[in-house]
Structure 1
Amino acid sequence: MADDRAPHALPDTPADTVSAPEQNAVDGPPQRLPRTVANDGDTDTAPVSVTDDAAREPAVSVWTTAQTSPAAQRKGRYVADATAHPAKMLPAVAAHAIDHYTDPGDLVLDPMCGIGTTLVEAVHLGRRAVGIEYEPHWVDVARANLALAHTAGVDHNGRVFHGDARQIASLLPPEYLGQAALVVTSPPYGPSTHGQVAVSPGAGVQKYHHLYGNTLDRGNLANIGHHRLLSGFTRILAGLVPFLRPGGHIAITIRPWREHAELIDLPSQILACGIHAGLIPVERCVALLARAAEHDLVARGSFFQRDFIRKQREAGLPLHLISHEDVLIFRTVLRRSAGSGIATERQGSRRFVTGRTRHAGNPRVGSGASESWAA
């Protein structure tokens, strides 16, 4: 669906998104994707720069971020050790978010940066970057990737700090308070990781590099169970707010996973986490993990994803291969009311008040939020 709003001028209140018929993407005229965006070739040539004006207008909620393979996107920008991470963010996803929600010179933050994909793409786009990573090995890899960018001639200001993002207030120097224009991050997917495969004679197909660190490490959010993951991620989101400038954005890439063929709707749960942390949801986009050809999507699913779907279909369950990630976009409030601690945003004579309520339904959903208008 076409989004006719300027990428850096999101409305102050939800009412603005439907204030005029011509702004309604459903009622508006159809828009064709530029051919520079929807490349129908199957070659792994370098993707079109996301800064190209033809690729930016009109902005759409479906991001064509898999026109080239993940390996092609990382070639030359990431050290060899980066391939071992079990759940790497697609570089084009990070680059698209950075290009559309920041300007050159802005600060981009990732509190769970892994191999530093967000940071690398940020510095290549002329932004400053700072990240936090829990596992020491990936801290070293992220720093090596930033060093590789410097070797390639990118004059950047990028830093990586080691620690638990739930303690972000004690990890980042005060100089970053109120400075970040954008956070791009993704929570761990629990058992649903990418990994790599190898075939050995007599041993069949073996999966490796598919686990987060030491599975006995209970400090790692990936190893503490689903409900505690949601609680911990909510704490991280709340801790990010002081480091974001007023109206700063948070882009979270997330996909659902399956347990015993049951869909775990992690995107909706993370949406509830963001609201509970006091953030304002503004967009829900789709980042493709499949190449957009002229008439269809060419999936890039892993061997294990395809094998799982095949077996489920043979068993009579018509499941589909996941070929996208949800991208949830939040932003911080523009100002706070003095003394009350309640986030408010004024437009004319109206005030938008965000309050919190507990969700009494499925415990997987966690806590939601209530919204009301006050004169």
Structure 2
Amino acid sequence: MDAPSQPTPALTGTPRQLLPLTVWMCPDPDDEQPTASSRFDPCVRHRPNAGRELARHLIATCTHDGDLVAETHPTNDSVLAAAAELGRRAVACAPHFALAQYVASTLRSRSLGGAARGVALRPCRPDQMTRALADHLGTTALVITAPPPDDGDTALRPSRQGRAACPGCSASVTAVRQPPLGEVLLASWRMLRPGGHLAVVTTARHEGGRFIDPAPQIIRQARALGFRYSQHVIAVRVPSSEDGVLVQSSPGDLAQIRDQRATALPPAARVHADVCLFTKPHPTPNDDGRNDREPKGKV
């Protein structure tokens, strides 16, 4: 006789929502790698999270020809150059003159031809872009933001090693304060058109003996404004082969290598960046006529 069938256990609690996850291979070009002869020495905190290959992936995925791309925390010309090469318009917010000068000079050194006329720099902080870019409110297709860490005075200390200061640190010092993440997300909401995308590029790190992952806070604050969390992207930033990935260290990284007997954590290699990709939803009939430029919540 057949054994009695066992009852199927009932699911309890809230169903899990699986996060759409993808991996992009985005190795940084050689001209974005830090070298001993670089005019500026980007510190570990401000090495470009949105390198040119990652920018190309984001722009090609989220925009169409002629669309506008805005960047809030530039450390070089990667996003502007990628947008020009793909036939998009782009504008970057540069709050510091030396940073703007550096980005503009590297952009001029590229062979972009007439495409360079579609990209520009605006002298403003990320949270002020709604005023500086008032002519583009509600029409931007993609905002790329890579906010630097904000954990005290060490985040604002320039890195010098015989060369000019890190342009990202210089911008932080000159701007007096880093705008809160919520203000940058709110400005991004107002810049984006319905259906537009916000890409927040970040990375987890060890600092002061702690593991710091900013992604949960970013997701929580973006959702509070009304953004829809569309996808999480792992952007591999180093070259790969069948045998693995190639991690190259800069002179500054090599100087941090500790004795094997040391109890402190070893220096971490930046192999990938995390990209939280959000979408500004289209207004619905339930919005009661609410202006689609205003978020549903505050952060």
CA pair 313-253 structure 1, distance change in 2 beyond 3 A: farther
Indicate the SS of the match to 1:287: strand
> How large is the RMSD of aligned CA atoms in angstroms?
3.7
Give the total of aligned pairs: 269
Unaligned residue ranges in structure 2 (runs of 5+): 1-14
Q: Residue 63 of structure 2 is aligned with which of 75, 84, 102?
A: 102
Q: Residue 149 of structure 2 is aligned with which of 189, 208, 212?
A: 189
Q: Residue 288 of structure 2 is aligned with which of 317, 331, 339?
A: 339
Larger RCO (CA under 8 A, 6+ residues apart): 2
- Equivalent residue letter for 1:117: S
**Correspondence 1:286-301 to 2 at 5 A:** 286-301=234-249
CA pair 331-240 structure 1, distance change in 2 beyond 3 A: same
User: Contact 2:60–2:86 at 8 Å: present in 1 too?
Assistant: yes
User: Contact 2:159–2:169 at 8 Å: present in 1 too?
Assistant: no
Q: When the two structures are superposed, what TM-score results if normalisation uses the length of structure 1?
A: 0.60
Cα deviation 1:213-242 (Å, max 9, x = unaligned):
177546331xxxxxxx5xx12111111222
- Equivalent residue letter for 1:131: A
Q: When the two structures are superposed, what TM-score results if normalisation uses the length of structure 2?
A: 0.74
1:5 counterpart residue number: none
Q: How far, CA to CA, are the matches of 2:204 and 2:41 in structure 1?
A: 22
Q: Residue 71 of structure 1 is aligned with which of 24, 30, 42?
A: 30
CA drift of 1:102 comes to 1.4
1:161 counterpart residue number: 122
Structure 1 or 2: more strand by fraction: 1
CA pair 209-312 structure 1, distance change in 2 beyond 3 A: farther
1:256 counterpart residue number: 204
2:169 is the counterpart of 1:220? no
Q: Residue 138 of structure 1 is aligned with which of 95, 99, 118?
A: 99
1:239 counterpart residue number: 187
**Correspondence 1:1-375 to 2 at 5 A:** 61-66=22-27, 69-72=28-31, 81=39, 83-86=40-43, 87=46, 88=48, 89-149=50-110, 152-154=113-115, 156-174=117-135, 176-190=136-150, 191=154, 209-210=165-166, 212-213=169-170, 217=174, 219-221=176-178, 232-305=180-253, 308=256, 310-311=258-259, 314-315=262-263, 317=265, 321-336=269-284, 337-339=286-288, 341=290
User: Contact 2:73–2:92 at 8 Å: present in 1 too?
Assistant: yes
Indicate the SS of the match to 1:272: helix
User: Contact 2:189–2:280 at 8 Å: present in 1 too?
Assistant: yes
Cα deviation 1:240-261 (Å, max 9, x = unaligned):
2222121111112111232222
CA drift of 1:332 comes to 0.3
Query: Which segment is superposed worse, 107-116 or 96-105?
Result: 107-116
CA drift of 1:308 comes to 4.5
- Equivalent residue letter for 2:93: I
Unaligned residue ranges in structure 1 (runs of 5+): 1-14, 19-23, 26-59, 199-205, 222-228, 344-353, 358-366, 368-375
CA drift of 1:290 comes to 2.3
CA drift of 1:268 comes to 2.4
User: Contact 1:93–1:287 at 8 Å: present in 2 too?
Assistant: yes
Matched-pair identity in %: 22
Cα deviation 1:254-297 (Å, max 9, x = unaligned):
11232222111122222223223332111111111222111211
